[in-house]
Amino acid sequence: MNKLILTLDPRGINLIDPTATHFRLNEYGFFLNKFSDIDKYSLVTFSSSKAKNKKSIKLNHAQIHFVSRPTFNALKFAILSFRTIKQKDLKVKLLFATDPWESFVSSYLLRILLKKRIPIYVQIHGDIGHPLWKKISLVNWLRYYIAKITIPRCDGIRVVSEGQLSNLRTNFNIAKVSSFIIPIPIKITFEEKNQVHSRSRTIGFVGRIHKDKGIWDFVKLIKILNTLNHDFDVLIIGDGKLHTKFLKKLTKLLDVNRVKFLGFVPQNEMLNVWSQIGVLVSTSRIESYGMALRESLINGVPIWTTKTSGSEELLIGIKHHEGFKFIDFSNDRKDLGNDLEDLFKASVSTSLVRQIRDNNNTYSERLAKSWLDLIKATEIRMST
């Protein structure tokens, strides 16, 4: 059996959108195999599913094995993973945790069960080191302090932006942890005919309907804009526990026929959705990368966003700022209205789309290289 990079996903989070997950795993697995030309490595994910007797999935360059039902019980998942490794006689060389919580603890316990000093590499998506992140909810507060314990105990971390890493360095003890800045790749079909030139007067919201996405600021903005004119609609793409309350507040401000809720939309179906949006509005309080912002620009849709580390880093790479504005609630409401009108008329340059695409095409190979680099560094450290 080839040497393995093993990903642990006890809650089955990575399979919420299977098409997007399969795309990324295949990309990662392809480059992993390419760069390990002598000592071949394979990419395997242990995940969970609500379906009974869920079969394993074999992709072109990766495999997914379902070893449990979705669980927060890290010990249980570690034991089931250990049994699967022994049954299949797998040779694990690196454990890739999908978060610094359940997945990391499962990885840590699995390493103890295997009785081997296998490096643990943790993926961190959110800007959890930002001072505001832990204040958004009790869950965030608890997870912040759990991460303060887990992150310093891993061997490497993958973050998605310089700002996110800076906040981690300030608030977490990661001086001895190897860090890699590698954004998450987006599946792009780049065709100029897909760029939207004639757009509807529709404000789009794309993402999880959670407090950390600034959903109440979004409502506040819609209320202000609606006092100026009623010549716009709202399209909501995403889901979350607060979606009923969120929609109720919006439909109190606007006629029901001006608010459309699509719920969660898989990434492979989003191309048709982007064509319905005139301007993407993001009111996230904290954003480490801003995947929806980049997807919006790639599809020719201008963005209006609050200032976050993710949106500010995106702006640095944009030479021509047409099609990109920051939301400033301190502005007069007429200024906010003018900003929206400017964006409805704005276009996104083809050169910007290509720039985002070219950067995006490097992310999978960079992640695969970072896995191999961490394995090599660990082996050198263990031998001295």
Give the whole-angstrom CA distance, residue 64 versus residue 22: 9
| Per-residue confidence band for 320, with pLDDT thresholds at 50, 70 and 90 | low
Does the pLDDT at position 321 exceed 70?
no
Residue 211 has pLDDT above 60, yes or no: yes
The Cα–Cα gap between 288 and 308 comes to 7
Backbone dihedral angles phi then psi of residue 235, each to the nearest 5 degrees: -120, 125
The pLDDT tens digits of the residues spanning 273-286 come to 998 999 999 998 88
60 burial level (CB within 10 Å; 0-12, 13-18, 19+): exposed
Question: Any idea which residue has 């966003």 for tokens?
Answer: 305
Q: Over pLDDT 70: what percentage of the chain?
A: 95
Distances (CA, A) of 190 to 185, 285, 298: 14, 30, 8
pLDDT band at 236; cut points 50, 70, 90? very high
Strand partners, 158: 123, 180
Give the integer Cα–Cα distance in Å for 237 and 207: 6
Report the C-alpha gap between 359 and 176 in whole angstroms.
Answer: 28
Angle at the Cα of 123 from the Cα atoms of 117 and 128, rounded to 5 degrees: 120
Contacts 24+ apart (CB under 8 A), 192-198: 192/350, 194/271, 194/299, 194/300, 195/299, 195/300, 195/348, 195/350, 195/353, 196/274, 196/275, 196/299, 196/300, 196/301, 197/300, 197/347
What would the pLDDT profile of 153-202 be if each residue is shown by its tens digit? 999 999 998 889 999 999 998 988 999 999 988 877 645 444 545 678 99
Range of 74-83, 291-300, 317-326 with top mean pLDDT: 74-83
pLDDT tens-digit profile of 86-106? Answer: 999 999 999 999 999 999 999
pLDDT of residue 193: 42
User: What's the pLDDT score for residue 196?
Assistant: 47
The model's pTM: 0.86
pLDDT at 15: 74
Q: Mean per-residue pLDDT for 52-75?
A: 89
C-alpha span between 308 and 293 (Å, rounded): 12
Q: Is the pLDDT of residue 210 over 90?
A: no
Q: What is the mean pLDDT of the chain?
A: 88
Domains of the chain as residue ranges with CATH? 3-185+361-383 (3.40.50.2000), 192-359 (3.40.50.2000)
Rounded Cα distance between 355 and 293, Å, is 14
- 3-state SS class at 32: helix
- If one compares 319 and 290, the residue with the highest pLDDT of the two is 290
Mean pLDDT, rounded, for 227-245: 91
* pLDDT tens for each residue of 107-127: 999 999 999 999 999 999 889
- Whether the pLDDT of residue 137 is over 90: the answer is no
Residue 66, Cβ neighbours under 10 Å: how many?
A: 22
Q: In this predicted structure, which of 186-195, 317-326, 344-353 has the lowest mean pLDDT?
A: 186-195
| Rounded Cα–Cα distance for residues 62 and 85 (Å) | 16
φ, ψ of residue 24 to 5 degrees: the values are -65, -45
- Here the tokens at position 383 are 């031998």
| CA gap 277, 237 in Å, rounded | 11
The mean-pLDDT minimum among 17-26, 48-57, 129-138, 338-347 falls in 48-57
pLDDT(307) > 60: yes
Pairing of strands 178-181, 279-282: unpaired
Higher pLDDT, 141 or 52: 141
- Residue 317 above 80 pLDDT? no
